[in-house]
């Protein structure tokens, strides 16, 4: 028997039963279908029956093609396809108008294989196109007015469209390790965008040894800086006082006047003496009345 042509790696077959067992509920109550790191080479058609999920994770597989039927997942808010062999995206991806997060990092996409329909993802907040073969960011992505973060690092970019710079809500743009002709100009462009500090969380088991050590060293350095910071002065605590200052302040009129009223001088014989009938104003009158 003659040997046939060289075939690609045989991926794991995903059945509907297997897929159902991979559905998880996130901390905020969303349904996530997690098929990551399963050695999948072909998009499993059976998962179209689970198109009510909110999140779909098919990252770190060997998928080359995303079918047109991806538009069946109309509830999708989160789609992760990073680290596959995807060469082209279907036009129907623009129909996933509920998407907030789209990760296409580490694939084989080019400028020509990015569909124009990406501009229809009006609710998209995060778009990651890093680690591909893109030599120009489509200017049409400037229509993604809700975009907060964009990754285009490790590509073949030589310019950045001004339409991206004008995105009103863009806070983070990562275009590191691209062959820009003048790095100073690209850095100046990036710094012109108002950005916030970002925190990315990843499980330690998903990091390589050097990356994990780098993160641990950075964490230890931060903890050391925090431990050297001067402690804030504590406000005085008056919990053990019998009468707090606030109570004393409220009753100050009472404890200032009452001793004078109850003093022995008021009940002295001089008050009841015949001199009270004299036209002179008595001492007790001066405390309670004003002279006419």
- pLDDT tens-digit profile of 26-42? 999 999 999 999 999 99
Split at pLDDT 50, 70, 90, the class of 13 is: confident
Per the model's pLDDT, the better-predicted residue between 228 and 197 turns out to be: 228
What is the mean predicted confidence (pLDDT) over 105-126? Answer: 96
> Among 69-73, 113-117, 177-181, 220-224, whose mean pLDDT is lowest?
220-224
* H or E element, residue 53: none
More confident residue, 135 or 266: 135
pLDDT of residue 213: 67
Q: What is the mean pLDDT of the chain?
A: 77
* Full-model pTM: 0.64
Q: How far is CA 125 from the centre of its chain?
A: 11
> What pLDDT score does 245 carry?
52
Task: Say which residue, 243 or 18, is predicted with more confidence.
Answer: 18
pLDDT digits (tens, 9 = 90+) for 88-99: 999 999 999 999
278: DSSP letter: S
Distance CA 86, CA 117 (A): 17
Residue-level pLDDT at 165: 84
C-beta separation of 159 from 139 below 8 A: no
Q: Is the pLDDT of residue 285 over 80?
A: no
Which residues face 174 on adjacent strands?
151
pLDDT at 112 over 70: yes
What are residue 165's phi and psi, to 5 degrees?
-65, -30
225 torsion bin: left (phi>0), alpha (psi -120 to 50), beta (else):
alpha
Structure tokens that stand for 260 in this block: 């004078």
- Closest by alpha carbon to 89, among 72, 65, 69? 65
Note the Cα 121 to chain centre separation in Å. 20
Q: What percent of the chain has pLDDT over 90?
A: 56
DSSP 3-state assignment of 128?
strand
pLDDT digits (tens, 9 = 90+) for 229-283: 665 555 555 555 444 455 445 555 554 554 444 445 544 445 444 444 444 444 4
Q: Given this model, what pLDDT does residue 234 score?
A: 58
What percent of the chain is predicted at pLDDT more than 70? 59
Apex 138 CA angle, 107 and 191, nearest 5: 90
């Amino acid at each position: 028997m003659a040997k046939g042509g060289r075939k690609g790696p045989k991926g794991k077959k995903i059945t509907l039963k297997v897929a159902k067992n991979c559905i998880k509920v996130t901390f905020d109550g969303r349904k996530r279908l997690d098929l990551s790191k399963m050695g999948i080479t072909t998009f499993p058609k059976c998962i179209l029956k689970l198109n009510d999920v909110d999140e779909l994770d098919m990252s770190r597989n060997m998928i080359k093609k995303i079918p047109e039927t991806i538009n069946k997942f109309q509830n999708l808010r989160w789609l992760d396809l990073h680290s596959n062999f995807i060469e082209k995206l279907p036009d129907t991806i623009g129909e996933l108008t509920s998407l907030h997060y789209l990760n296409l990092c580490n694939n084989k996409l080019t400028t020509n294989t990015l569909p124009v329909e990406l501009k229809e993802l009006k609710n998209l907040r995060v778009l990651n196109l890093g680690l591909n073969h893109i030599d120009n960011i489509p200017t049409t992505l400037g229509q993604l007015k809700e975009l907060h973060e964009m990754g285009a690092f490790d590509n073949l970019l030589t310019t950045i469209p001004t339409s991206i710079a004008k995105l009103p809500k863009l806070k983070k743009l990562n275009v590191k390790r691209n062959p820009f002709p003048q790095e100073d100009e690209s850095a100046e462009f990036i710094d012109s965008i108002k950005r916030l500090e970002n925190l990315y969380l990843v499980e330690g088991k998903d990091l390589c040894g050097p990356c994990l050590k780098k993160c641990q060293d950075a964490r230890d350095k931060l903890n050391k800086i925090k431990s050297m910071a001067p402690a804030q002065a504590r406000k005085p605590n008056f919990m053990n006082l019998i009468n707090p200052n606030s109570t004393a302040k409220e009753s100050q009129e009472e404890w200032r006047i009452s001793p004078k009223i109850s003093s022995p001088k008021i009940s002295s014989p001089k008050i009841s003496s015949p001199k009270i009938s004299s036209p002179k104003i008595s001492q007790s009158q001066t405390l309670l009345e004003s002279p006419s």
